[in-house]
Amino acid sequence: MLSIKNLHARVEDKTILKGLNLDVKPGEVHAIMGPNGAGKSTLGYVLSGRDGYEVEQGSAELDGHSLFDMETEERARAGLFLAFQYPVEIPGVSNMEFLKASVDAVREARGDSALSSAEFLKLARVVCKQVNLPVEFLKRGVNEGFSGGEKKRNEIMQMILLAPRLCILDETDSGLDIDALKVVADGVNSQRSSDRGFVVVTHYQRLLDYIKPDFVHVLSDGKIVKSGGPELAKELEAQGYSWLADHPDEVPAE
């Protein structure tokens, strides 16, 4: 469903992605790990079309449609979802208004009928509960004053409400306490299905104990330098990334 080929992209005048390839099929969960600054978040931003992130070469298709021909909102409506590493605070805009506007837009694009305010409220309450956020959070400004963990749960809530085709979770586990980690993982697992794909960016093996990936990739200096099964995450946890610096071209034997 997601097919990225030879992607080169830059921020300002610095090339960050340098020939990245990735294929995600429906039902698969791919974990991406890699050192700080490798370009993991950049990949999410480029795919979702953030201003200032420029594609130099290569392609990315979601269900056969070129993402780079679409506006950010069109990509979301086509089923791309990015859970942000740093969710944005928007004081003055209530979480409820935001969630409703977003669900309305995505449903409309899919040709689904609009939900009434009452229907939506009911749905939002259920999902709030699912991610263990008090319903009062619906009334607060978007992420305004939310703790780090609350912001991440709010991202998962949005993901569940929008029912996307492909979910990119950028360090959704960072800053979570043990219980919240389980809540987030349960949220993700509840959404796993044979027609949905996941790209989970994480630094920690721990998350992958809860969300069992089909593939694990190492992203370094703008490229996927190694791919493997779940066992690769365990090796990385043990070895770190120093082998990348010492022998950038030689990856350790499995």
Ligand X SMILES: Nc1ncnc2c1ncn2[C@@H]1O[C@H](COP(=O)(O)OP(=O)(O)OP(=O)(O)O)[C@@H](O)[C@H]1O
What number of CA atoms fall less than 13 Å from residue 53's CA on the CB side?
Answer: 19
Decide: is 172 part of the binding site for ligand X (CB under 6 A). no
Residue 16 or residue 83: which is nearer to another protein going by CB? 83
Footprint of another protein (CB under 8 A) = 48-51, 71-73, 75-77, 82, 84, 87-88, 90-93, 97-98, 101-102, 105-106, 109, 141-142, 158, 162
Decide: is 93 part of the binding site for ligand X (CB under 6 A). no
Instruction: Pick the piece of the chain touching Mg ion (CB under 5 A) from 77-85, 112-120, 123-131, 216-224.
Output: 77-85
Q: Which does 42 bind (CB under 5 to 8 A by kind): another protein, Mg ion, ligand X, none?
A: ligand X
Decide: is 42 part of the binding site for Mg ion (CB under 5 A). no
Q: Which of 39, 49, 58, 187 binds ligand X (CB under 6 A)?
A: 39
Instruction: Please choose, from the candidates 31, 29, 3, the residue with its C-alpha nearest in 3D space to the C-alpha of residue 197.
Output: 29
* 60 phi/psi in degrees, rounded to 5: -145, 125
Q: Which of 2, 42, 132, 223 binds ligand X (CB under 6 A)?
A: 42
Q: Tell me the closest approach of the beta carbon of residue 54 to ligand X, in angstroms.
A: 11
Q: Which of 10, 24, 41, 106 binds Mg ion (CB under 5 A)?
A: 41
Decide: is 9 part of the binding site for ligand X (CB under 6 A). no
**Antiparallel, parallel or unpaired: β 65-66 and 53-62:** antiparallel
Instruction: Please choose, from the candidates 100, 29, 95, 21, the residue with its C-alpha nearest in 3D space to the C-alpha of residue 60.
Output: 21
Q: Tell me the closest approach of the beta carbon of residue 217 to ligand X, in angstroms.
A: 12
Q: Which does 158 bind (CB under 5 to 8 A by kind): Mg ion, another protein, ligand X, none?
A: another protein
List interacting residues with Mg ion (CB under 5 A). Answer: 40-41, 85
List interacting residues with ligand X (CB under 6 A). Answer: 11-12, 14, 16, 34, 36-42, 85
